[in-house]
Structure 1
Protein backbone atom coordinates (compact mmCIF):
# COMPACT_ATOMS: atom_id res chain seq x y z
CA UNK A 1 0.00 0.00 0.00
CA UNK A 2 1.49 3.34 -1.00
CA UNK A 3 1.90 6.22 1.40
CA UNK A 4 -0.45 8.39 -0.67
CA UNK A 5 -3.18 5.74 -0.56
CA UNK A 6 -2.82 5.27 3.20
CA UNK A 7 -2.98 9.02 3.75
CA UNK A 8 -5.98 9.32 1.45
CA UNK A 9 -8.10 6.82 3.35
CA UNK A 10 -7.03 8.22 6.75
CA UNK A 11 -7.71 11.90 5.99
CA UNK A 12 -11.47 11.60 6.69
CA UNK A 13 -10.76 9.96 10.07
CA UNK A 14 -8.33 12.77 10.91
CA UNK A 15 -11.14 15.23 10.20
CA UNK A 16 -13.47 13.36 12.56
CA UNK A 17 -10.81 13.24 15.27
CA UNK A 18 -10.07 16.95 14.98
CA UNK A 19 -13.75 17.78 15.30
CA UNK A 20 -14.17 15.43 18.25
CA UNK A 21 -11.28 17.22 19.98
CA UNK A 22 -13.45 20.35 20.22
CA UNK A 23 -14.82 18.80 23.41
CA UNK A 24 -11.51 19.70 25.10
CA UNK A 25 -11.57 23.36 24.06
CA UNK A 26 -15.22 24.41 24.00
CA UNK A 27 -17.15 24.63 27.26
CA UNK A 28 -20.71 24.88 26.02
CA UNK A 29 -22.81 22.52 23.98
CA UNK A 30 -23.41 23.40 20.35
CA UNK A 31 -26.58 25.41 19.94
CA UNK A 32 -29.36 24.03 17.77
CA UNK A 33 -28.70 26.68 15.12
CA UNK A 34 -25.01 25.75 14.96
CA UNK A 35 -25.89 22.05 14.70
CA UNK A 36 -28.29 22.84 11.86
CA UNK A 37 -25.64 24.88 10.07
CA UNK A 38 -23.03 22.12 10.38
CA UNK A 39 -25.49 19.44 9.32
CA UNK A 40 -26.49 21.49 6.27
CA UNK A 41 -22.83 21.93 5.36
CA UNK A 42 -22.21 18.17 5.63
CA UNK A 43 -25.25 17.47 3.44
CA UNK A 44 -24.00 19.87 0.76
CA UNK A 45 -20.57 18.23 0.66
CA UNK A 46 -22.09 14.75 0.39
CA UNK A 47 -24.47 15.70 -2.44
CA UNK A 48 -21.70 17.35 -4.47
CA UNK A 49 -19.35 14.42 -3.84
CA UNK A 50 -22.04 11.97 -4.94
CA UNK A 51 -22.46 13.80 -8.25
CA UNK A 52 -18.96 14.94 -9.26
CA UNK A 53 -16.83 12.24 -7.65
CA UNK A 54 -19.09 9.21 -8.07
CA UNK A 55 -22.07 9.37 -10.46
CA UNK A 56 -20.43 11.35 -13.28
CA UNK A 57 -17.31 9.09 -13.32
CA UNK A 58 -19.60 6.02 -13.24
CA UNK A 59 -21.45 7.22 -16.35
CA UNK A 60 -18.21 8.20 -18.11
CA UNK A 61 -16.75 4.74 -17.46
CA UNK A 62 -19.80 3.21 -19.18
CA UNK A 63 -19.75 5.45 -22.27
CA UNK A 64 -19.06 2.44 -24.48
CA UNK A 65 -22.72 1.49 -23.87
CA UNK A 66 -23.84 4.53 -25.83
CA UNK A 67 -27.34 5.71 -24.98
CA UNK A 68 -27.48 3.16 -22.17
CA UNK A 69 -24.35 4.44 -20.42
CA UNK A 70 -26.58 5.53 -17.54
CA UNK A 71 -27.63 1.95 -16.78
CA UNK A 72 -24.75 0.83 -14.50
CA UNK A 73 -25.06 4.09 -12.54
CA UNK A 74 -28.81 3.61 -12.20
CA UNK A 75 -28.47 0.00 -11.03
CA UNK A 76 -25.62 0.73 -8.61
CA UNK A 77 -27.42 3.77 -7.22
CA UNK A 78 -30.52 1.75 -6.34
CA UNK A 79 -28.47 -1.01 -4.74
CA UNK A 80 -26.84 1.67 -2.57
CA UNK A 81 -30.22 3.01 -1.52
CA UNK A 82 -31.52 -0.47 -0.67
CA UNK A 83 -28.32 -1.38 1.21
CA UNK A 84 -28.59 1.67 3.50
CA UNK A 85 -32.32 1.12 3.89
CA UNK A 86 -31.62 -2.38 5.23
CA UNK A 87 -28.87 -1.18 7.58
CA UNK A 88 -31.11 1.64 8.79
CA UNK A 89 -33.82 -0.90 9.58
CA UNK A 90 -31.71 -3.41 11.50
CA UNK A 91 -29.07 -1.34 13.35
CA UNK A 92 -30.43 0.29 16.52
CA UNK A 93 -29.52 3.99 16.46
CA UNK A 94 -30.68 7.36 17.72
CA UNK A 95 -30.33 10.58 15.74
CA UNK A 96 -29.40 13.87 17.36
CA UNK A 97 -32.31 15.64 19.10
CA UNK A 98 -34.57 12.62 18.43
CA UNK A 99 -36.57 11.01 21.23
CA UNK A 100 -37.27 7.64 19.61
CA UNK A 101 -34.62 5.20 18.43
CA UNK A 102 -34.73 3.60 14.99
CA UNK A 103 -33.85 0.10 13.84
CA UNK A 104 -34.46 -3.07 15.82
CA UNK A 105 -35.48 -2.78 19.47
CA UNK A 106 -32.49 -2.64 21.78
CA UNK A 107 -31.55 -2.01 25.39
CA UNK A 108 -28.39 -0.17 24.39
CA UNK A 109 -27.62 3.09 26.17
CA UNK A 110 -28.77 6.31 24.52
CA UNK A 111 -25.20 7.50 24.01
CA UNK A 112 -24.25 4.21 22.34
CA UNK A 113 -27.14 4.48 19.90
CA UNK A 114 -26.15 8.08 19.12
CA UNK A 115 -22.66 6.89 18.19
CA UNK A 116 -24.17 4.08 16.10
CA UNK A 117 -26.25 6.65 14.21
CA UNK A 118 -23.13 8.57 13.17
CA UNK A 119 -21.29 5.32 12.43
CA UNK A 120 -24.13 4.25 10.12
CA UNK A 121 -23.89 7.64 8.44
CA UNK A 122 -20.13 7.18 7.91
CA UNK A 123 -20.29 3.77 6.20
CA UNK A 124 -21.09 5.13 2.71
CA UNK A 125 -18.46 7.84 3.08
CA UNK A 126 -15.76 5.23 3.70
CA UNK A 127 -17.05 3.22 0.73
CA UNK A 128 -16.95 6.32 -1.46
CA UNK A 129 -13.30 7.03 -0.61
CA UNK A 130 -12.39 3.38 -1.12
CA UNK A 131 -14.05 3.00 -4.51
CA UNK A 132 -12.56 6.25 -5.84
CA UNK A 133 -9.05 5.24 -4.79
CA UNK A 134 -9.68 1.77 -6.21
CA UNK A 135 -10.61 3.40 -9.52
CA UNK A 136 -7.42 5.41 -9.50
CA UNK A 137 -5.29 2.36 -8.65
CA UNK A 138 -6.82 0.31 -11.47
CA UNK A 139 -5.90 3.00 -13.98
CA UNK A 140 -9.31 4.52 -14.64
CA UNK A 141 -8.81 7.60 -16.82
CA UNK A 142 -11.91 9.20 -15.28
CA UNK A 143 -10.41 9.18 -11.76
CA UNK A 144 -7.18 11.05 -11.02
CA UNK A 145 -5.03 11.21 -7.90
CA UNK A 146 -6.21 14.79 -7.45
CA UNK A 147 -9.85 13.76 -7.77
CA UNK A 148 -9.43 11.02 -5.17
CA UNK A 149 -7.66 13.45 -2.83
CA UNK A 150 -10.43 16.02 -3.36
CA UNK A 151 -13.04 13.52 -2.20
CA UNK A 152 -10.99 12.60 0.89
CA UNK A 153 -10.48 16.27 1.77
CA UNK A 154 -14.14 17.12 1.20
CA UNK A 155 -15.32 14.32 3.46
CA UNK A 156 -12.70 15.25 6.08
CA UNK A 157 -13.93 18.85 6.08
CA UNK A 158 -17.53 17.79 6.66
CA UNK A 159 -16.37 15.20 9.22
CA UNK A 160 -14.88 17.96 11.39
CA UNK A 161 -18.26 19.37 12.47
CA UNK A 162 -19.67 15.84 12.70
CA UNK A 163 -17.00 14.96 15.24
CA UNK A 164 -17.95 17.99 17.33
CA UNK A 165 -21.66 17.23 16.99
CA UNK A 166 -21.16 13.77 18.47
CA UNK A 167 -18.53 14.43 21.19
CA UNK A 168 -19.86 17.66 22.72
CA UNK A 169 -23.43 16.50 23.36
CA UNK A 170 -22.08 13.30 24.90
CA UNK A 171 -19.99 15.37 27.30
CA UNK A 172 -22.99 17.58 27.94
CA UNK A 173 -24.89 14.49 29.09
CA UNK A 174 -22.25 13.76 31.70
CA UNK A 175 -19.66 11.68 29.87
CA UNK A 176 -15.99 12.44 30.57
CA UNK A 177 -14.32 14.55 27.90
CA UNK A 178 -11.80 11.83 27.07
CA UNK A 179 -14.54 9.21 26.61
CA UNK A 180 -16.71 11.61 24.58
CA UNK A 181 -13.70 12.31 22.34
CA UNK A 182 -13.03 8.58 21.96
CA UNK A 183 -16.66 7.92 20.98
CA UNK A 184 -16.44 10.67 18.38
CA UNK A 185 -13.28 9.17 16.87
CA UNK A 186 -14.68 5.64 16.95
CA UNK A 187 -17.77 6.78 15.05
CA UNK A 188 -15.45 7.69 12.18
CA UNK A 189 -13.24 4.59 12.39
CA UNK A 190 -15.64 2.74 10.11
CA UNK A 191 -14.56 4.99 7.22
CA UNK A 192 -10.98 3.71 6.67
CA UNK A 193 -12.20 0.15 7.33
CA UNK A 194 -14.95 0.54 4.74
CA UNK A 195 -12.48 2.12 2.33
CA UNK A 196 -10.04 -0.80 2.60
CA UNK A 197 -12.79 -3.40 2.14
CA UNK A 198 -14.11 -1.56 -0.91
CA UNK A 199 -10.63 -1.26 -2.44
CA UNK A 200 -10.15 -5.00 -1.99
CA UNK A 201 -13.50 -5.86 -3.58
CA UNK A 202 -13.01 -3.43 -6.45
CA UNK A 203 -9.62 -4.99 -7.18
CA UNK A 204 -11.31 -8.37 -7.58
CA UNK A 205 -14.10 -7.09 -9.84
CA UNK A 206 -12.65 -4.28 -11.97
CA UNK A 207 -15.54 -4.25 -14.52
CA UNK A 208 -17.90 -3.52 -11.62
CA UNK A 209 -16.33 -0.12 -10.95
CA UNK A 210 -19.24 1.96 -12.38
CA UNK A 211 -21.66 -0.02 -10.24
CA UNK A 212 -19.53 0.46 -7.12
CA UNK A 213 -19.14 4.20 -7.70
CA UNK A 214 -22.87 4.73 -8.06
CA UNK A 215 -23.57 2.31 -5.19
CA UNK A 216 -21.58 4.60 -2.89
CA UNK A 217 -23.43 7.61 -4.30
CA UNK A 218 -26.81 6.05 -3.60
CA UNK A 219 -25.79 5.16 -0.05
CA UNK A 220 -24.53 8.69 0.62
CA UNK A 221 -27.64 10.34 -0.77
CA UNK A 222 -29.82 8.05 1.33
CA UNK A 223 -28.10 9.44 4.42
CA UNK A 224 -28.56 13.02 3.19
CA UNK A 225 -32.28 12.68 2.51
CA UNK A 226 -33.18 10.39 5.42
CA UNK A 227 -31.06 12.01 8.12
CA UNK A 228 -29.25 15.25 7.35
CA UNK A 229 -31.94 17.28 5.59
CA UNK A 230 -34.55 16.60 8.31
CA UNK A 231 -32.01 17.52 11.01
CA UNK A 232 -31.00 20.78 9.33
CA UNK A 233 -34.67 21.77 8.96
CA UNK A 234 -36.04 20.89 12.40
CA UNK A 235 -37.24 23.47 14.87
CA UNK A 236 -38.22 27.03 14.03
CA UNK A 237 -37.84 28.12 10.43
CA UNK A 238 -34.35 29.27 9.55
CA UNK A 239 -32.35 29.63 6.33
CA UNK A 240 -29.04 28.72 7.96
CA UNK A 241 -29.23 25.05 6.98
CA UNK A 242 -29.90 25.81 3.31
CA UNK A 243 -27.18 28.46 3.18
CA UNK A 244 -24.59 26.12 4.71
CA UNK A 245 -25.76 23.32 2.41
CA UNK A 246 -24.93 25.63 -0.50
CA UNK A 247 -21.52 26.44 0.99
CA UNK A 248 -20.70 22.75 1.39
CA UNK A 249 -21.97 21.91 -2.09
CA UNK A 250 -19.96 24.61 -3.86
CA UNK A 251 -16.83 23.89 -1.80
CA UNK A 252 -16.88 20.19 -2.70
CA UNK A 253 -17.65 20.98 -6.35
CA UNK A 254 -14.73 23.43 -6.49
CA UNK A 255 -12.36 20.94 -4.84
CA UNK A 256 -13.27 18.16 -7.24
CA UNK A 257 -12.90 20.30 -10.36
CA UNK A 258 -9.76 22.13 -9.19
CA UNK A 259 -7.89 19.04 -7.99
CA UNK A 260 -9.40 16.53 -10.42
Structure 2
Protein backbone atom coordinates (compact mmCIF):
# COMPACT_ATOMS: atom_id res chain seq x y z
CA UNK A 1 0.00 0.00 0.00
CA UNK A 2 2.91 2.33 0.79
CA UNK A 3 4.31 1.80 -2.70
CA UNK A 4 0.90 2.44 -4.24
CA UNK A 5 1.04 5.94 -2.75
CA UNK A 6 4.01 6.62 -5.01
CA UNK A 7 1.87 5.47 -7.92
CA UNK A 8 -0.47 8.40 -7.30
CA UNK A 9 2.39 10.82 -8.13
CA UNK A 10 2.49 10.02 -11.88
CA UNK A 11 -1.30 9.72 -11.84
CA UNK A 12 -1.52 13.31 -10.59
CA UNK A 13 1.01 14.27 -13.28
CA UNK A 14 -1.43 13.04 -15.93
CA UNK A 15 -4.14 15.30 -14.51
CA UNK A 16 -1.75 18.26 -14.29
CA UNK A 17 -0.69 17.72 -17.89
CA UNK A 18 -4.32 17.65 -18.99
CA UNK A 19 -5.20 20.84 -17.10
CA UNK A 20 -2.16 22.65 -18.53
CA UNK A 21 -2.99 21.53 -22.07
CA UNK A 22 -6.62 22.71 -21.98
CA UNK A 23 -5.63 25.99 -20.36
CA UNK A 24 -2.59 26.82 -22.45
CA UNK A 25 -1.35 24.20 -24.92
CA UNK A 26 2.49 24.12 -25.00
CA UNK A 27 4.42 24.83 -28.18
CA UNK A 28 6.02 22.10 -30.25
CA UNK A 29 9.55 23.00 -29.17
CA UNK A 30 8.61 22.72 -25.50
CA UNK A 31 6.89 19.38 -26.10
CA UNK A 32 9.96 18.11 -27.97
CA UNK A 33 12.18 19.15 -25.07
CA UNK A 34 9.91 17.38 -22.59
CA UNK A 35 9.95 14.22 -24.68
CA UNK A 36 13.76 14.26 -24.81
CA UNK A 37 13.89 14.88 -21.06
CA UNK A 38 11.50 12.01 -20.30
CA UNK A 39 13.45 9.69 -22.62
CA UNK A 40 16.73 10.52 -20.87
CA UNK A 41 15.29 9.99 -17.40
CA UNK A 42 13.70 6.65 -18.32
CA UNK A 43 16.86 5.46 -20.06
CA UNK A 44 18.86 6.29 -16.92
CA UNK A 45 16.37 4.41 -14.71
CA UNK A 46 16.71 1.38 -16.97
CA UNK A 47 20.51 1.63 -16.91
CA UNK A 48 21.06 2.06 -13.17
CA UNK A 49 18.31 -0.16 -11.74
CA UNK A 50 16.42 -2.51 -14.06
CA UNK A 51 19.33 -3.81 -16.15
CA UNK A 52 21.70 -4.36 -13.16
CA UNK A 53 18.93 -6.27 -11.34
CA UNK A 54 18.50 -8.61 -14.30
CA UNK A 55 22.24 -9.16 -14.68
CA UNK A 56 22.72 -9.69 -10.95
CA UNK A 57 20.25 -12.59 -10.95
CA UNK A 58 22.08 -14.14 -13.97
CA UNK A 59 19.18 -16.27 -15.23
CA UNK A 60 19.52 -16.42 -19.05
CA UNK A 61 16.38 -18.50 -19.58
CA UNK A 62 14.13 -16.15 -17.60
CA UNK A 63 15.75 -13.12 -19.25
CA UNK A 64 15.21 -14.57 -22.72
CA UNK A 65 11.60 -15.57 -22.15
CA UNK A 66 10.66 -12.24 -20.59
CA UNK A 67 12.53 -10.31 -23.27
CA UNK A 68 10.94 -12.23 -26.14
CA UNK A 69 7.47 -11.81 -24.66
CA UNK A 70 8.09 -8.10 -24.19
CA UNK A 71 9.37 -7.74 -27.76
CA UNK A 72 6.34 -9.56 -29.18
CA UNK A 73 3.92 -7.43 -27.19
CA UNK A 74 5.61 -4.16 -28.14
CA UNK A 75 5.62 -5.12 -31.82
CA UNK A 76 1.94 -5.99 -31.49
CA UNK A 77 1.23 -2.57 -29.99
CA UNK A 78 3.16 -0.92 -32.81
CA UNK A 79 1.13 -2.87 -35.37
CA UNK A 80 -2.14 -1.79 -33.78
CA UNK A 81 -0.94 1.80 -33.63
CA UNK A 82 -0.34 1.74 -37.39
CA UNK A 83 -3.75 0.23 -38.16
CA UNK A 84 -6.21 1.78 -35.74
CA UNK A 85 -7.48 5.31 -36.16
CA UNK A 86 -9.87 7.56 -34.28
CA UNK A 87 -10.13 8.87 -30.70
CA UNK A 88 -11.40 5.59 -29.20
CA UNK A 89 -8.52 3.59 -30.65
CA UNK A 90 -6.10 6.28 -29.53
CA UNK A 91 -7.43 6.21 -25.97
CA UNK A 92 -7.23 2.40 -25.87
CA UNK A 93 -3.59 2.42 -26.93
CA UNK A 94 -2.66 5.23 -24.52
CA UNK A 95 -4.58 3.46 -21.77
CA UNK A 96 -2.63 0.26 -22.38
CA UNK A 97 0.59 2.26 -22.38
CA UNK A 98 -0.22 3.88 -19.03
CA UNK A 99 -1.35 0.56 -17.51
CA UNK A 100 1.93 -0.98 -18.64
CA UNK A 101 3.84 1.94 -17.10
CA UNK A 102 2.10 1.22 -13.81
CA UNK A 103 2.97 -2.47 -14.05
CA UNK A 104 6.63 -1.63 -14.72
CA UNK A 105 6.61 0.75 -11.75
CA UNK A 106 5.22 -2.01 -9.56
CA UNK A 107 7.94 -4.36 -10.85
CA UNK A 108 10.52 -1.73 -9.93
CA UNK A 109 9.35 -1.75 -6.33
CA UNK A 110 9.54 -5.57 -6.36
CA UNK A 111 13.34 -5.30 -6.70
CA UNK A 112 14.40 -2.44 -4.43
CA UNK A 113 12.72 0.65 -3.02
CA UNK A 114 15.35 2.82 -4.73
CA UNK A 115 14.46 1.33 -8.11
CA UNK A 116 10.81 2.13 -7.48
CA UNK A 117 11.57 5.70 -6.43
CA UNK A 118 13.71 6.37 -9.51
CA UNK A 119 11.11 4.85 -11.81
CA UNK A 120 8.47 7.00 -10.14
CA UNK A 121 10.45 10.11 -11.09
CA UNK A 122 11.06 8.85 -14.62
CA UNK A 123 7.46 7.82 -15.31
CA UNK A 124 6.05 10.98 -13.73
CA UNK A 125 7.84 13.05 -16.35
CA UNK A 126 6.75 10.66 -19.10
CA UNK A 127 3.05 10.56 -18.19
CA UNK A 128 3.01 14.32 -17.75
CA UNK A 129 3.69 14.45 -21.47
CA UNK A 130 1.05 11.76 -22.09
CA UNK A 131 -1.49 13.95 -20.31
CA UNK A 132 -0.63 16.77 -22.68
CA UNK A 133 -0.78 14.43 -25.68
CA UNK A 134 -4.16 12.91 -24.79
CA UNK A 135 -5.66 16.33 -24.18
CA UNK A 136 -4.42 17.70 -27.50
CA UNK A 137 -5.84 14.67 -29.32
CA UNK A 138 -9.23 14.87 -27.61
CA UNK A 139 -9.50 18.61 -28.21
CA UNK A 140 -9.89 17.87 -31.93
CA UNK A 141 -13.21 16.10 -31.34
CA UNK A 142 -14.38 17.31 -27.90
CA UNK A 143 -15.20 20.93 -27.10
CA UNK A 144 -15.82 20.64 -23.36
CA UNK A 145 -12.62 21.23 -21.40
CA UNK A 146 -14.08 19.55 -18.33
CA UNK A 147 -14.92 16.43 -20.34
CA UNK A 148 -11.41 16.32 -21.80
CA UNK A 149 -9.79 16.56 -18.36
CA UNK A 150 -12.24 13.98 -16.99
CA UNK A 151 -11.52 11.44 -19.75
CA UNK A 152 -7.78 11.98 -19.38
CA UNK A 153 -8.08 11.45 -15.62
CA UNK A 154 -9.89 8.13 -16.17
CA UNK A 155 -7.15 7.00 -18.53
CA UNK A 156 -4.49 8.07 -16.03
CA UNK A 157 -6.17 5.98 -13.31
CA UNK A 158 -4.98 2.89 -15.18
CA UNK A 159 -1.46 3.56 -13.85
CA UNK A 160 -2.14 2.69 -10.19
CA UNK A 161 -4.24 -0.22 -11.45
CA UNK A 162 -1.17 -1.44 -13.33
CA UNK A 163 0.81 -1.23 -10.09
CA UNK A 164 -1.80 -3.34 -8.32
CA UNK A 165 -1.69 -5.92 -11.10
CA UNK A 166 2.09 -6.24 -10.71
CA UNK A 167 2.03 -6.46 -6.90
CA UNK A 168 1.74 -10.29 -6.70
CA UNK A 169 5.03 -10.62 -8.62
CA UNK A 170 6.84 -9.76 -5.39
CA UNK A 171 5.83 -13.16 -3.94
CA UNK A 172 6.96 -15.22 -6.96
CA UNK A 173 10.30 -17.06 -7.30
CA UNK A 174 13.37 -15.00 -8.22
CA UNK A 175 13.55 -16.48 -11.74
CA UNK A 176 9.98 -15.39 -12.48
CA UNK A 177 10.70 -11.89 -11.17
CA UNK A 178 13.72 -11.73 -13.49
CA UNK A 179 11.49 -12.66 -16.44
CA UNK A 180 9.05 -9.91 -15.57
CA UNK A 181 11.90 -7.41 -15.19
CA UNK A 182 13.21 -8.41 -18.61
CA UNK A 183 9.74 -7.77 -20.02
CA UNK A 184 9.67 -4.37 -18.30
CA UNK A 185 13.13 -3.56 -19.67
CA UNK A 186 11.96 -4.13 -23.24
CA UNK A 187 8.79 -2.12 -22.65
CA UNK A 188 10.74 0.89 -21.34
CA UNK A 189 13.31 0.73 -24.14
CA UNK A 190 10.46 0.63 -26.65
CA UNK A 191 8.91 3.65 -24.96
CA UNK A 192 12.18 5.59 -25.25
CA UNK A 193 13.18 4.64 -28.79
CA UNK A 194 9.89 4.10 -30.62
CA UNK A 195 7.61 6.60 -28.93
CA UNK A 196 9.25 9.48 -27.07
CA UNK A 197 12.29 10.09 -29.29
CA UNK A 198 10.47 9.22 -32.52
CA UNK A 199 7.66 11.68 -31.80
CA UNK A 200 10.12 14.29 -30.55
CA UNK A 201 12.00 14.22 -33.86
CA UNK A 202 8.77 14.77 -35.79
CA UNK A 203 8.60 18.28 -34.28
CA UNK A 204 10.88 21.27 -34.86
CA UNK A 205 14.19 20.22 -33.31
CA UNK A 206 17.02 22.23 -31.82
CA UNK A 207 20.28 21.55 -29.95
CA UNK A 208 18.57 22.72 -26.75
CA UNK A 209 15.75 20.16 -27.00
CA UNK A 210 18.19 17.38 -27.91
CA UNK A 211 20.36 18.31 -24.93
CA UNK A 212 17.38 17.67 -22.64
CA UNK A 213 17.86 13.93 -23.18
CA UNK A 214 21.29 14.13 -21.57
CA UNK A 215 20.03 16.52 -18.89
CA UNK A 216 17.42 13.93 -17.91
CA UNK A 217 19.92 11.09 -18.01
CA UNK A 218 22.49 12.91 -15.88
CA UNK A 219 19.83 14.15 -13.47
CA UNK A 220 18.65 10.66 -12.57
CA UNK A 221 22.18 9.26 -12.60
CA UNK A 222 23.36 11.91 -10.14
CA UNK A 223 20.25 11.46 -8.03
CA UNK A 224 21.03 7.76 -7.73
CA UNK A 225 24.66 8.47 -6.81
CA UNK A 226 23.70 11.07 -4.20
CA UNK A 227 21.22 8.67 -2.61
CA UNK A 228 23.89 5.96 -2.40
CA UNK A 229 26.38 8.43 -0.94
CA UNK A 230 23.97 9.59 1.73
Write the distance in 2 (CA, Å) between the matches of 1:158 and 1:180.
19
**What residue is the counterpart of 2:67 in the other structure?**
77
Aligned partner of 1:10 in structure 2 is: 8
Residues 1:37 and 2:37 aligned together: no
Q: Contact 2:109/2:115 (CA < 8 Å) preserved in 1?
A: no
Within 1, Cα distance between the matches of 2:204 and 2:124?
29
Superposition deviation, residue 16 in structure 1 = 1.4
Shift of 1:240: 4.0
RMSD: 2.6
Q: Judging changes above 3 Å, is the alpha-carbon distance between structure 1 residues 116 and 71 closer, same or farther for their aligned structure 2 residues?
A: same
Aligned 1:220-235 pairs, distance under 5 A? 220-235=188-203
Deviation string, structure 1 residues 109-137 (Cα, Å, up to 9, x no partner): x33333334323324321211112223xx
Contact 1:123–1:190 (CA under 8 A) maintained in structure 2: yes
SS of residue matched to 2:46: helix
Give the C-alpha shift of residue 237 in structure 1: 4.7
Using the size of structure 2 for normalisation, the TM-score is: 0.84
Alpha-carbon deviation of 1:88?
3.2
Pick closer, same or farther for the CA change 1:223–1:120 going to 2, 3 Å: farther
Compute the displacement of 1:255 (Å): 3.3
Q: Kindly indicate whether the alpha-carbon contact (under 8 Å) linking 1:59 and 1:72 is maintained by their aligned counterparts in 2.
A: no
Q: Give the Cα separation in 1 of the matches to 2:136 and 2:16.
A: 12
Output one character per residue of 1:84-117: Cα deviation in whole Å (capped at 9) or x when no partner.
Answer: 2123334xx4xxxxxxxx24x56xxx33333334
Contact 1:123 1:194 in 2 (8 A): yes
Aligned with 1:223: secondary structure?
A: helix
Q: Which string of whole-angstrom CA distances, capped at 9 and with x for unpartnered residues, describes residues 177-222 of structure 1?
A: 1121123223322221222111224424443111211210101111
Secondary structure at 2:206's aligned position in 1?
coil
In structure 2, distance between residues paired with 1:77 and 1:222: 12
Match of 2:17 in 1: 19
Provide the rounded CA distance (Å) in 1 between the counterparts of 2:205 and 2:122.
28
Structure 1 residues 175 and 248: alpha-carbon distance in aligned structure 2, compared to 1, 3 A threshold: farther
Cα distance per residue 1:56-87 (max 9 Å; x no partner): 1111133xxxxxx5664454333212222123
Structure 2: any 5+ residue segments left out of the alignment?
none
- Count the aligned residue pairs: 228
Are the aligned partners of 1:49 and 1:151 in contact in 2 as well (CA < 8 Å)?
yes
Is 1:118 aligned to 2:94, yes or no?
yes
Answer whether contact 1:23 1:167 (CA < 8 A) is retained: yes
- Match of residue 51 from structure 2: 55
Q: Which residue of 2 aligns with 1:66?
A: none
CA–CA separation in structure 2 for the residues paired with 1:57 and 1:77: 14
Contact 1:39 1:232 in 2 (8 A): yes
Structure number with higher helix proportion: 2
Instruction: Sort the Cα spacing of 1:41 and 1:74 in 2 relative to 1 into closer, same or farther, 3 A.
Output: farther
Cα 1:193/1:168, change in 2 over 3 Å: same
